[in-house]
Amino acid sequence: MDIFSSPLAVRLERTVTATGPHILQNPNQINSPFETLPKPLFPLPAAAASTAASSSSPPSDTAAAMDAGGASDPSRQVRVRFVTKLPAPLRAPPTSIAVPADLTRMGLSEIVNSLLLAASPGHQTQPFDFLVDGELVRLPLQEFLLAKGISAERVLELEYVKAVAPRKQEDPCPHDDWVSTVDGSNPRIWRDASECTHILEGHSDGITSASFINKGETEDRLHVVTSSKDRSLRLFKFDTSVSIPKQIGAYKILRGHTSSVQSVAVDPSTDMICSGSWDSSIKLWSVEGSEEDGDTVSVKKRRTNSDSSGTEESQFEGSATSTFLGHTQCVSAVAWPERQTIYSASWDHSVRQWDVQTGKETWNMVSGKALNCLDCGGESSSLIAAGGSDPVLRVWDPRKPGTLAPIFQFSSHKSWISSCKWHPSSWFHLVSSSFDGKVMLWDLRTAWPLASVETHKDKVLCADWWKGDSVISGGADSKLCIASGIEIV
């Protein structure tokens, strides 16, 4: 399932067969890592950003050496051995071979495909990426060797992996207004195209954030929390086994913020929620609760159907269990990766770590820019990615003592970054969206984007991973877009 929202209502969609997905042939839609392959045909690559902070970029003396040393000399060769952790049908012979030194990863991919075709005539040609000492190769071989100080005299071991880039683009799903937030963490409702199955109603102003509360219930029972400019959060629970759009009201309303609620996150146990607001505070709330719990009071009855004969359910109003103070401007994003730890990002330029039990700030990093988004991921979910009012996506490691500098910076966007999300099962991969109208896929092992999705016609406001092999995004063009066929092994 995917959640996406527009002002005043959240809509959940079930997919039904329509025209179906199609293979992308337009290089302006998705830029993937290869210019061409024998078959199938893949889109053109995104140009590497000239400003990308990169350990892959050769220093000036290396560049001079390449100019003087004839890096483009087609007669020069490098001996390589292709290795992989992919399953047996995709394993090339381990013997070393001589290849032109000016080959790019596209040429290397063609060689690997040729070797695989020779061993198995039924092999389907596909693009590969290449790693040397854990770093993705993004330069011609000889330039890469010069930049890294690796001798061209030894046999170079090249580990190849499946290239990470979308292969398909579903037809966009139009909406009545901006698609302001998406959550792809629950895949139960989607099929192939879109059909609205539920409308979650009740907010009196635009919805800013929405999240599934994955409580381990049956497949047909779901919980969702939403936040809004109307200063409230709302909790919904509903049955997904319906075939027509159904209007759902909240079973619990959470009030206490004095300004727009900008962000929401669910704790790992799914018992609590935290929210960030334009009032500069972070508040904690209980998901469950009854009149006996002390944090909720019954405020009214609501009918479960528009029919006046429908049954009635109590609607509760809850108050915050804790409030964290410290930020001086809008708390634009919150994340709750561990039971006792919350991270927040703010327009006051800071990322902060909070101890849930004490409510005290335990780490504070100033980025120098107003921040719009934040997510936790990487190894043991210990890395912090954040973006904001410049084109740079930054990654920090709070475990590193003595420095607050980002350990990675990705600079290929051309405008503000609106959202960022780590892949749910990969330490290396992220997705980001930007006001430049693009969604980009990243790998920590290179400063260049793996792919750039350009299907939106206006600002992209949100993006998330879906089903592990797709990216969903929403924007100011009132469209929900899905790029699929992304293989991350």
318-368 confidence digits (pLDDT tens): 999 999 999 999 999 999 999 999 999 999 999 999 999 999 999 999 988
pTM of the model: 0.81
Q: Is 400 exposed, middle or buried (0-12, 13-18, 19+ CB in 10 A)?
A: exposed
Mean pLDDT (whole number) for 401-422: 92
Query: What is the percent of the chain where pLDDT is above 70?
Result: 75
Q: Which pLDDT band, with edges at 50, 70 and 90, does 199 fall under?
A: confident
Res. 265: pLDDT tops 90: yes
Q: What is the arithmetic mean of pLDDT over 408-426? A: 96
* Domains delineated in the chain: 77-162 (3.10.20.90), 168-289+313-484 (2.130.10.10)
Confidence band for 238, pLDDT divided at 50, 70 and 90: confident
Nearest residue to 315 (alpha-carbon basis) of 293, 304, 300 = 300
Average of pLDDT values for 93-106? 94
Tally of residues, the chain: 489
Model confidence band, residue 288 (pLDDT cutoffs 50, 70, 90): confident
